[in-house]
Amino acid sequence: MSKRLFVSIAPLALVSCATVPAETAPPTDVGTVASADPRAAEAGMEMLRQGGSATDAAIATMLALTVVEPQSSGIGGGGFMLRGLPDGSVESFDGRETAPAAAGADWFLDTEGKAKSYRDVVLTGLSVGVPGNVALAKLAHDKYGKLPWAALFAPAIRLADEGFVMNPRLNGSLEGNIDRAGADPLMRATFYTEAGDPRPVGTRILRPELAASLRAIAAQGPEAMYGAEPAAELAATVAAATPLAAGMTPSDVSSYRARERAPVCGIYRSYRICGMGPPSSGGIAVLAMLGQLERFDLAALGPRNPQFWHLFLESQKLAYADRELYTGDSDFVSVPVEGLVAPDYLARRSALIDPERAQSYEAGVPEGAPQARADGDEPIENGTTHFVVTDSAGTMISYTSTIEGGFGSGLQFGGYYLNNELTDFSFSPAKDGVPVANRVEGGKRPRSSMAPTLVWDPAGRPFLMIGAAGGSTIPVQVARSIIGVIDFGMSLDDALALPLAMDFGRTVVVEQGSWLEAQIGALEALGHQNVRPASPPFRAVGAIRTPDGWRGRHDPRLDGILDPSQKGA
Ligand code: GLU
C-alpha cells in the first residue's frame, strides 16, 4: 500500500492550530505567542512575562506541545527554528532527526530488494530517527536564553503533572487510531478507556511518566536524553522494535548534534523572505514558487480568478520538480541551494509557464546542479505543529516541530511518542540506477517539507512570521498565505482562510467545500487534469505586525473543533 493511501485512510489528526485565541490576544508589551494549542501558547507567554527571551518562550511552547498535543510533535521528534531580528539578521537551527549509523540503502528494502510499504515500516523501529528537539533547544538556549534552562520546563511539567483537558481535536485524532496511538500499553492507558475508546472530551489527562522525563531533562540538561544511560535505554527501545539485525545503538543517540544552518533568503516584491534550508526543502520551495510568480500581476487577477490558481499550480509543479530532484540533507548530498533560488534561474523557470495552458515540467538545471534522480514521493502527514513567538525586543521566532505522522511511530519512551521521521526518506535508494538525493544513509537527516518562514517589509521592518503542518503541502500553504497578504492585501485572517489548490502530480486537489470547488471546470479548461475536491490537512499558523502590534492568527479550518473551555486547563 502506498504511503499516501495509508495516510488518507488514517483518521485525520487535525494537526496544528488553535493559537492564542485570535480575537482575545491583544498585543502586550512582553510579546506574542501563537501556537497550535492555547495552553502551549500560554506556556510561552509565561516565559515572556517572566522576562524571558523569544527563544525561551519558543522552547517552553515546544515542551508544552509535547504534553497537550501528543499527536503532532514533541521531544520524541525534531524541528526547525528560525530566529530573526528587526535589523534583518536571521539564523536557523536544525533539530531534524537522524538515521542510525546502521541504516543504509537496504533500510526500507525487502529481501528481494524491493521497497517495503509505508504501512510495513511505520510502526516499527525502522521509522524512528534520533530525536532532535531537546538538542535544538539547548543549542538555541545556550545562545539566546535569558531564563534558566529549568524554568522553561515548568509549564510543561505542570500540565503533565496536574493534567490537561482532553479537547475535541486530540479526541478526534485518537478515534479509530488505537493501533498507532495506543500501540504502547502506557499510551493506551493514558489516552483510551479500558473498552478501547478515546477518553471523552473534557477528561483530565495526566502524564506522570512524561513529567518525570521533563523533570530529568530540566535538572540535568540534554544529558538526561543523550547521556550514556538514557541513550542506551532509548536505543534499546527502538532496536527491540526494529526487524533487522542492526538497529539504533547508544552511540547513535549520544552522538546526535543539533546544527546551525544557513537560512535561505530571497526577495519577493521588495519583501525579504527567509526560510529553512536543507535538510528541509521548505524554504527553497517557497522562494521558488514566489519567484516564479513575480512576473505576473497577481494583485490584478485577485484570488477569485481561476487564472491566478492556474499560475499558482504551474509554479508549484516547477518548484516541486526541482525539490524532488535536488533537495536532501546537504551534509550528505550536494544541494545547489543558491542556484535553485537565484532570481535569473527562477525567471528562466517562470518563462516556461504558459498562462493559457497547464503543462508538466522536468526539473531544471540550476547553477551547481549535481547528477541525481527524483524519487517522486509525496507524503501528506499530520504529526506536525507550527508556532511563532515575538518578544518585546522585536525578535521573531518561527518554529515547526514534528513527530512526522500522527502519534509518530506509536512507540513510547519516557512517556512520550517516538517519531517516524525516517519515512520521510525515499524508500528506494536509486531510480534508473542513479542515486536519489533523499536516499537513506547512516547518520543522515531525511528531507523535510517544513517551512518556518520570516518576512521583512520593503522598509526592512519585521512583518510576518508563518509556517504550517501538512507534510508536502506545507510550502504551498506558506506561499499561498504570503501571496494573500502581499499581493492581495488581505489581513492574515483572510489569507489563512483562502482555499487551496495543490498539484500532487497525478491529481490536482481543490479544497473540498471551498468556493474554489466551483472553479474546477475553469481549471480543467486550462488543461489541468484529474482535478478533484479533497480535504488534505491544510493548517497554517502565523503572526503579522500591525500598527497596533503583532497579531497571532491560526487557520480558521480549526474553528469549531477547539474547545474554548480547555484554555489554561
Ligand atoms: N515530517 C514532515 C516533514 O518534515 C512533516 C509532516 C507533517 O507536516 O505532518 O516534512
- Domain enclosing residue 153, as ranges: 16-92+129-256+377-444+538-567
Residue 114 Cα to ligand 1 middle (Å): 24
In a domain, 221, yes or no: yes
Using CB distances shorter than 6 Å, the residues near ligand 1 are 15, 381-384, 402, 404, 421, 424, 448-450, 469-471, 474
Active site members: 384
In a domain, 449, yes or no: no
For position 567, what pLDDT does the model report?
Answer: 34
**Cβ-Cβ contacts under 8 Å for 273 (sequence gap 6 or more):** 265, 266, 267, 286, 287, 290, 453, 454, 455, 482
Q: Which residue out of 15, 122, 424 has the highest number of ligand 1 atoms within 8 Å of its CB and is therefore the one to mutate? A: 424
Residue 373 Cα to ligand 1 middle (Å): 22
Task: Tell me which H or E stretch contains 399.
Answer: strand 396-404
For position 569, what pLDDT does the model report?
Answer: 28
Residue 51 Cα to ligand 1 middle (Å): 32
For position 535, what pLDDT does the model report?
Answer: 87
176 grid coordinates: 479509530
Q: Which residue out of 448, 473, 477, 538 has the highest number of ligand 1 atoms within 8 Å of its CB and is therefore the one to mutate? A: 448
For position 388, what pLDDT does the model report?
Answer: 97
For position 200, what pLDDT does the model report?
Answer: 97
For position 14, what pLDDT does the model report?
Answer: 23
In a domain, 475, yes or no: no
Counted domains in the chain:
1
In a domain, 307, yes or no: no
Residue nearest ligand 1's atom 1 by CA: 404
Q: How many CA atoms lie within 13 A of 556 on its CB side?
A: 12
Q: How many CA atoms lie within 13 A of 235 on its CB side?
A: 23
d(CA 463, CA 386): 18
Closest ligand 1 atom to residue 446 Cα is 4
510 grid coordinates: 481543490
Residue 439 Cα to ligand 1 middle (Å): 17
Low-confidence ranges of the chain (pLDDT < 50): 1-27, 560-569
Task: Tell me which H or E stretch contains 180.
Answer: helix 178-181
For position 556, what pLDDT does the model report?
Answer: 86
- Of 153, 134, 136, 144, give the one whose Cα is nearest residue 222: 134
In a domain, 461, yes or no: no
In a domain, 383, yes or no: yes
Q: Which residue out of 80, 450, 538 has the highest number of ligand 1 atoms within 8 Å of its CB and is therefore the one to mutate? A: 450
Residue nearest ligand 1's atom 6 by CA: 471
Which whole-number Å values give the CA distances from 436 to 269, 319, 378, in the listed order? 34, 17, 14
Instruction: Tell me the per-residue pLDDT of 406-425, one tens digit each, with 9 for 90 and over.
Output: 999 999 999 999 999 999 99
In a domain, 177, yes or no: yes
Do residues 321 and 363 make contact, with C-beta atoms less than 8 angstroms apart? Answer: yes
Residue 253 Cα to ligand 1 middle (Å): 21
